[in-house]
Amino acid sequence: MSGVNEASVLEALKTVNDPELHKDLVSLGMVEKVTVEGEKVGVKINLTTPACPLKGQIEADVRAALARIGVKELEVHFGATVRAPQNLPLPGIKHVVAVASGKGGVGKSTVAANLAVALAQEGASVGLLDADIYGPSQAQMFGTQAEKLRADEQKRIVPLERYGIKLVTIANIVPAGQAMVWRGPILHGTLKQFLHEVAWGDLDYLIVDMPPGTGDVQLSLAQLTKVSGGVIVTTPQDVARIDAERAVDMFKRVQVPLLGIVENMSYFEQGGQRVHIFGQGGGRRMAEAYKTAFLGEIPIAVAVREAGDAGVPVVLSAPNSPEAQALRQTARALAAQLSVQSYMLLPMA
Ligand SMILES: Nc1ncnc2c1ncn2[C@@H]1O[C@H](COP(=O)(O)OP(=O)(O)OP(=O)(O)O)[C@@H](O)[C@H]1O
């Protein structure tokens, strides 16, 4: 292995591009450490998110590049630091992500809950804010109905901790039904409190489960904080898509970048076959039309509904099921999209 040293390893790594950012790992500052000890070379790559979907490809490309300069014994280690905009949206919080839908019942809350838990499973610090103040579902999804949120000495709300994420929902503050009478200004005030007066701590991602439709809360969120991006959950039916298009328009009007589309209840698996009950490809076509990413398609499955009812999201209750895998893949695609969006649009810290 004559001639291999730290400098030549770095030179070789300059030929490896991040597949999404289309720039080499060295210029992107992703090579954290290179060690050469005799025949042994060690490389530590710092990914832009622990939920990186292309880790395998990056490792293969690094191995190929170093094999070309004669490295035979190579250890590749990965770390991850989620990149943040220079001005954080909220103290300690790197990204606020709004999960929205044009109409109710498309599975927005289910998708938001599973995305949050899947990102945490990958090693990210995640919070979930249930901003669906009229019809909160996250206490049900996480089995926290009997709990009450408390305040710390500074009178900030302390989030509940479940399955590795921090959770705040109105359902853990007021008795069920009481929130229904609230009006616009109170909604705004409540959302403000949920964003600014919660001891969220340091978070890579704060996922916000938005109310269905396009209304006051959407506007308030955009006014109260810098939202990194919005995700739209839709189902393949035409009606849901027309509503989803309204949600796309709403994000545009409040200048929240669109991160992508998730199609829920896309198909049903029967004897190894995918049955597309409501037609095929609607979400993907919509993503193409809006020049945004298609983040994933989630099958309709009994396990998803049962998991929601039991208070344990399906990525935890049945982690190897096709539906959990689809949700995890969607979470990775979302994280990757945020890395790309942050890299392209925002000056990095
Ligand atoms: N992929 C799926 N497979 C099976 N059931 C699902 C799936 N996604 C969601 N559901 C079920 O559909 C119902 C509605 O889901 P959810 O509450 O997440 O929808 P929503 O869009 O957030 O609704 P709302 O607008 O009322 O808040 C729930 O019972 C949930 O368990």
Separation between Cα atoms, residue 174 and residue 140, nearest integer Å: 14
Cα–Cα distances in angstroms (integers) from residue 101 to residues 17, 36, 175, in the given order: 35, 51, 26
Spatial neighbors of 71 by CB under 8 A, at least 6 apart, are 1, 4, 9, 41
Structural domain ending residue among the three candidates 80, 115, 139: 80
Of 101, 109, 217, best ligand 1 pocket probe by most atoms within 8 Å of the beta carbon? 109
User: Has residue 151 been placed in a domain?
Assistant: yes
Q: Is residue 343 over pLDDT 60?
A: yes
pLDDT by residue (tens digit) across 243-297?
Answer: 888 889 999 999 999 999 999 999 998 888 888 888 888 899 999 999 999 999 9
- Residues facing residue 240 across a β-bridge: none
Protein residue with least CA distance to atom 29, ligand 1: 305
Known binding-site positions: 102-109
Q: Is residue 183 over pLDDT 70?
A: no
Separation between Cα atoms, residue 201 and residue 198, nearest integer Å: 8
Q: Same domain, yes or no, for 47 and 190?
A: no
Q: Is residue 84 over pLDDT 90?
A: no
β-bridge pairing 229-234 and 93-100: parallel
> What pLDDT shows up at residue 277?
83
Cβ distance 112 to 100 under 8 Å? no
Q: Same domain, yes or no, for 135 and 177?
A: yes
Q: Is 57 helix (H, G, I), strand (E, B) or coil?
A: helix
Q: Is residue 182 over pLDDT 70?
A: no
Q: Answer with the residue of higher pLDDT: 75 or 83.
A: 75
Q: Same domain, yes or no, for 64 and 157?
A: no
CATH number, domain at 13?
3.30.300.130
CATH number, domain at 238?
3.40.50.300
Q: Answer with the residue of higher pLDDT: 303 or 340.
A: 303
| Model confidence band, residue 117 (pLDDT cutoffs 50, 70, 90) | very high
**Mean residue pLDDT across the chain:** 91
Q: Same domain, yes or no, for 103 and 63?
A: no
| Model confidence band, residue 346 (pLDDT cutoffs 50, 70, 90) | very low
Query: For ligand 1, is residue 92 a contact (CB within 6 Å)?
Result: no
> What pLDDT shows up at residue 348?
43
- What's the one-letter identity of residue 96? V
Q: Same domain, yes or no, for 237 and 148?
A: yes
Q: Is residue 144 over pLDDT 50?
A: yes
Structural domain ending residue among the three candidates 80, 108, 131: 80
Q: Same domain, yes or no, for 252 and 205?
A: yes
> What pLDDT shows up at residue 294?
96
User: Has residue 110 been placed in a domain?
Assistant: yes
Buried residues in 88-101 as b, exposed as e (16+ CB within 10 A): bbbeebbbbbbbbb
Query: For ligand 1, is residue 327 a contact (CB within 6 Å)?
Result: no
Q: Same domain, yes or no, for 305 and 200?
A: yes
Cβ distance 160 to 172 under 8 Å? yes
Q: Is residue 62 over pLDDT 60?
A: yes
Q: Same domain, yes or no, for 242 and 340?
A: yes
Token pair listed for 10: 């770095």
Cβ distance 124 to 335 under 8 Å? yes
User: Has residue 323 been placed in a domain?
Assistant: yes
Between CA 149 and CA 156, with CA 153 as vertex, the angle to 5 degrees is 50
Query: For ligand 1, is residue 106 a contact (CB within 6 Å)?
Result: yes
Token pair listed for 14: 């300059």
User: Has residue 1 been placed in a domain?
Assistant: no
> What pLDDT shows up at residue 36?
96
The domain containing residue 253 runs over which residues?
93-345
User: Has residue 183 been placed in a domain?
Assistant: yes
Give the number of other Cβ atoms within 10 Å of residue 151's Cβ: 12
User: Has residue 86 been placed in a domain?
Assistant: no
How many percent of the chain have pLDDT more than 70?
94
Q: Same domain, yes or no, for 21 and 161?
A: no
Token pair listed for 144: 């926290």
How many percent of the chain have pLDDT more than 90?
72
Domain count, the chain: 2
User: Has residue 152 been placed in a domain?
Assistant: yes
Q: Same domain, yes or no, for 304 and 236?
A: yes
Q: Same domain, yes or no, for 112 and 245?
A: yes
Structural domain ending residue among the three candidates 28, 45, 80: 80
Is the ipTM, as predicted for this complex, more than 0.95? yes
Alpha helices in the chain (DSSP H): 6-13, 55-68, 108-121, 138-142, 184-196, 216-224, 238-253, 282-289, 302-310, 314-317, 322-345
Q: Is residue 175 over pLDDT 80?
A: no
Query: For ligand 1, is residue 328 a contact (CB within 6 Å)?
Result: no
Q: Same domain, yes or no, for 182 and 68?
A: no
User: Has residue 87 been placed in a domain?
Assistant: no
Separation between Cα atoms, residue 179 and residue 174, nearest integer Å: 7
pTM as predicted: 0.92
